[in-house]
Amino acid sequence: MRSHLTLGRLFGVPIGINLWVMAVAAVLAVSLAQISLPNIAPDHPRSAYWFAGVVGVAGFLASLVAHEVGHSWVAQRNNVRVREITLWLFGGVAKLEGDADDPGSEFRIALAGPAMSALCSLVLAGAAWGTWRVEGSEVLLGLLVWLSGINAVLAVSNLIPAFPLDGGRILRAVLWRRLGRKIRATRVSALWGQILAGVMAAASVWIMFNFALWSGMWILALSLFLFVAARAEWSGAAPAPELLELTVADLRRDLPAPLGPTGSVADAESRLSAHPGSPFVPLADRRNTITALVTRDGISRIPPAQRVLVPATSIAESLVTLPRVEPGETVRVVLDRLGEGRSWWALVTDGDGGLGALVSSDVDGLMEVVTG
């Protein structure tokens, strides 16, 4: 069974409405016409309340659509296609075809909805102020204030940094830019989403028993929905189990042959250019034990003309600080030990005395590519 009706198209995007929203809209119209408006503006004919109630609900649905049109408009400007906009129980959803390709677009698309709601709220507040100034209809004034408030609530509540709410998407975009990794950013913001949903659920129980039973129950339902959504995003962004079972041997990079104690910076440089994937050159002491390493960074600090004269030992870094891993260890074990999301190199000591390097970005990149 189709759970929603298509209302029409706006800028080429179909707008659908979930059947539950129709029920909520009916309840809302009744409560506006029977309770809210008569309280705000008493002593008006019933027909005026009913008319304003229906207009109010239409305005409410239009506010939801406006929020989603904000997202859709910016999405299309950032080359993300919008399949449809659907209104359902907890607001609207703009169904995008895929995600933004870069954190900047993601940030703009996510912010556009709350920005649109804030703009609507201001315009409606301005209209309310104008109505008040010309001493226009009290029912109309009450309606405009109510709609302005609804839009303000839409703007603010969507900015809660709980993925997949807009605020959570903004958080993900910021993390994505900082970490350079979308999947990890999704993991962190979806984890936050779950924590915030938990906090909201606890607060809703408190509200239920101390203030307003129905508002509390509504917030509880919303926080449960949020928790489930955040949980799904979180586990969807988890690295595939088979990747964690890959071994160090699968990911190791070859290192150049160790440089002797008399080698120059130029010697280290030529070994690195013969092994472009290697992050460093190992340095051996007189007993042929690997004790230090020379990095590309270290080499770049010596002016090219002097590299032949400067001994490699002068820019060597101690090996003691470098973690060591075995070729048979799995990615899971290595990540547990060295920490996920950090930047590190590890020395791979093969059984036969051979040397390799494991680079954190290889491990990260692998997970990002396959799960992203």
Which residues in this chain contact Zn ion in the complex, by CB under 5 A?
Answer: 113, 158, 166
Which residues face 95 on adjacent strands? Answer: 84
**Minimum separation from the CB atom of position 71 to Zn ion (A):** 5
**Minimum separation from the CB atom of position 111 to Zn ion (A):** 9
In the sheet where 280-284 sits, what is the strand order? 280-284, 290-295, 317-318
CB 17 within 8 A of CB 5: yes
Q: Residue 121 in 3-state DSSP?
A: helix
Q: Which is nearer to Zn ion, 106 or 166 (CB)?
A: 166
Query: Rounded to an integer, what distance in angstroms lies between the CA atom of residue 241 and that of residue 183?
Result: 15
CB 53 within 8 A of CB 32: yes
Q: Which is nearer to Zn ion, 113 or 258 (CB)?
A: 113
- Give me the residue whose beta carbon is nearest to Zn ion: 113
Closest CA to 236 of 298, 195, 187, 304: 187
Q: Which is nearer to Zn ion, 166 or 269 (CB)?
A: 166
**Minimum separation from the CB atom of position 179 to Zn ion (A):** 23
**Minimum separation from the CB atom of position 196 to Zn ion (A):** 16
**Minimum separation from the CB atom of position 158 to Zn ion (A):** 5
Phi then psi for residue 354, to 5 deg, are: -70, 160
Q: What is the DSSP letter of 181?
A: -
**Minimum separation from the CB atom of position 272 to Zn ion (A):** 49
Q: Which is nearer to Zn ion, 98 or 276 (CB)?
A: 98
Which amino acid belongs to residue 100? A
Q: Which is nearer to Zn ion, 115 or 128 (CB)?
A: 115
Segment holding 338, helix H or strand E: helix 331-338
**Minimum separation from the CB atom of position 189 to Zn ion (A):** 15
Q: Which is nearer to Zn ion, 14 or 327 (CB)?
A: 14
DSSP string covering 17-57: EEHHHHHHHHHHHHHIIIIIHHHHS-S--HHHHHHHHHHHH
Which regions of the chain does DSSP assign to beta strands (E)? 4-10, 13-18, 82-88, 91-96, 253-254, 280-284, 290-295, 317-318, 324-325, 345-349, 355-359
Q: Which is nearer to Zn ion, 232 or 370 (CB)?
A: 232
Which amino acid belongs to residue 246? L
Q: Which is nearer to Zn ion, 91 or 239 (CB)?
A: 91
**Minimum separation from the CB atom of position 353 to Zn ion (A):** 59
